[in-house]
Amino acid sequence: MGTKRWLGRLGVLAAIAAIVAAVVVWRIRTRPPPPPRYVAGDITTGDVIEVVQSTGQVKPLTEVQVGAQVSGRITKVYVDFNSIVKAGDVLAEIDPTLFGAQIDSNQAQLEAASASVVRAEASLGTAKQRLDRAKRMVVEGVGSQADLDTAQGAYDVALADLAASKAQVAQLRAVLRSSTTNLQYTRIFSPIDGVVISRAIDPGQTVAASFQAPTLFVIAQDLRKMRVLADIDEADVGRLREAMEADVSVDAFPGETFRGTVSQVRYSPLNQSGVVTYAAVVEVDNPDVKLRPGMTATVSIRSGEARGVRRLPNAALRFKPAPERDKDGKEIKGPPLEPLPPKKGRVYVLTDATPGAEKIEPRVVDVGITDGIFTALSTDLGPVKVVTDENDSPSASGRGRGPRLF
């Protein structure tokens, strides 16, 4: 009997617990959602600096590739990497033996051709005398026309031989000048003052310049002035202009910034895998020669700035209030917001900060440049707070959210 009585009481308690649970669930489901709580920020006064960021490669401002214009074996190399050179300094020499022999051969041919000119001039003089004598004899009636024609023909041939000999002399002189120039090309000179940043030859190496001059040295004119070729996205290139200031940084010197200026924004596009970019040339001062050719640089170009202006957090422009819901949790659709024209933004200002009864209103404002954190504000909203975020319930404020709640 005791066991049955205990089981009966247990059944009654279970039924009561089920009823209580059902009532609690019903109350929770039918309870209206708690009013939202908003995170608000201030409209402050400060500077807004708009920046276009990109990466690029560091290069010397002026870079000259020095090549060989004749083929041959390198006999001497006078410079190495990092050598300081002046314009006109000899960088290397190619074996001049064959070129000297070619000059000797050309000179001998020129002398032989000059002798041919002398011989042709003598032959022409003899032919002229014979022609004059034949003419006198015909006039005096003691010579024949056939002899005159023969003398005239011999004179014409001698005249042509002299012209051919003189042309050959001129040709051989040109060949000699070419051979002399080639001999001079065996000494490779620096065309500018600068620093050798690349050397591609060693003594004993053979260079061939049959089709194009091979590059033997690369000389940078002045490493105290460098340039960065920055790849600018097509969406940002319209904001860049020449003479804009830029900050350049490299991984080799973390925390250090090099100042530069945009000297050129090129019109020619660069297309890589369907991504279109444009090259911006940033000239950078490098007084301590810390920047080296080939370094990868991060470039921040200041495309616009507004000093001492009213500004609001960008989060306020991104904020959209959660839609209202009925007691069943279904979304109540309101009228759609009108699209905004350029240079306009929509923010929500806190009109009532009473806890549990906060109210907000939308405002359309005129906006300017942005630095990614703040946006310049042209509209005077007065001493209001702009909403930057929203909490679903008061309990959300205790989960480590940094900004102040109202």
pLDDT band at 30; cut points 50, 70, 90: low
**Amino acid (1-letter code) at residue 110:** L
Q: Is 204 left (phi over 0), alpha (psi -120 to 50) or beta?
A: left
d(CA 79, CA 189): 11
* Per-residue model confidence (pLDDT) at position 22: 62
Q: What is the pLDDT of residues 248-272, one digit of tens each?
A: 999 999 999 999 999 999 999 999 8
Is the whole model's pTM more than 0.75, yes or no?
Answer: no
Q: How far is CA 280 from CA 124, 161, 233, in A?
A: 71, 65, 10
Of 146-150, 240-244, 295-299, 311-315, the range with the lowest mean pLDDT is 146-150
* Per-residue model confidence (pLDDT) at position 352: 80
* In the predicted structure, residue 6 carries a pLDDT above the cut 60: no
Which is higher by pLDDT, 110 or 16? 110
* Per-residue model confidence (pLDDT) at position 151: 87
Cα dihedral sign, 324-328-329-331: negative
**Which helix (H) or strand (E) covers residue 181, if one does?**
helix 145-185
d(CA 383, CA 338): 26
* In the predicted structure, residue 166 carries a pLDDT above the cut 50: yes
Mean pLDDT of all residues in 69-78: 96
Q: What is the pLDDT of residues 8-29, one digit of tens each?
A: 666 666 667 667 666 555 555 5
* Per-residue model confidence (pLDDT) at position 398: 37
Which is higher by pLDDT, 38 or 70? 70
Q: And the tokens for 124?
A: 């022409």
pLDDT band at 339; cut points 50, 70, 90: confident
Q: Give residues with Cβ within 8 angstroms of 348, minimum separation 6.
A: 316, 319, 321, 360, 361, 362, 363, 386, 387
CA 170 to chain centroid, in Å, comes to 51
Smallest Cα–Cα separation from 385: which of 302, 334, 289, 313? 313
Of 84-93, 140-149, 195-204, 261-270, the range with the lowest mean pLDDT is 140-149
d(CA 36, CA 18): 32
* Per-residue model confidence (pLDDT) at position 404: 42
Smallest Cα–Cα separation from 239: which of 207, 280, 289? 280
What is the Cα gyration radius of the chain? 46
- Angle (CA) 40-45-48 rounded to 5° is 100
* In the predicted structure, residue 148 carries a pLDDT above the cut 90: no
Mean pLDDT of all residues in 120-126: 91
Mean pLDDT score of the chain: 87
What the chain holds in terms of domains, given with CATH numbers, is 34-48+310-398 (no CATH), 52-61+223-305 (2.40.30.170), 63-93+188-221 (2.40.50.100), 96-185 (1.10.287.470)
pLDDT band at 173; cut points 50, 70, 90: very high
pLDDT band at 32; cut points 50, 70, 90: low
Which is higher by pLDDT, 334 or 304? 304
Instruction: Give percent above pLDDT 70 in the chain.
Output: 86
Q: What is the pLDDT of residues 176-235, one digit of tens each?
A: 999 999 999 999 999 999 999 999 999 999 999 877 778 999 999 989 999 999 999 999
* In the predicted structure, residue 325 carries a pLDDT above the cut 60: yes
Q: What is the pLDDT of residues 374-396, one digit of tens each?
A: 999 998 888 888 988 887 544 33
Given a contact cutoff of 8 angstroms between Cβ atoms, the answer to whether 270 and 277 are in contact is yes
* Per-residue model confidence (pLDDT) at position 406: 39
* In the predicted structure, residue 286 carries a pLDDT above the cut 50: yes
d(CA 397, CA 81): 63
Given a contact cutoff of 8 angstroms between Cβ atoms, the answer to whether 56 and 231 are in contact is yes
* Per-residue model confidence (pLDDT) at position 12: 62
Mean pLDDT of all residues in 111-118: 94
Smallest Cα–Cα separation from 314: which of 255, 386, 249? 386
* Per-residue model confidence (pLDDT) at position 23: 57
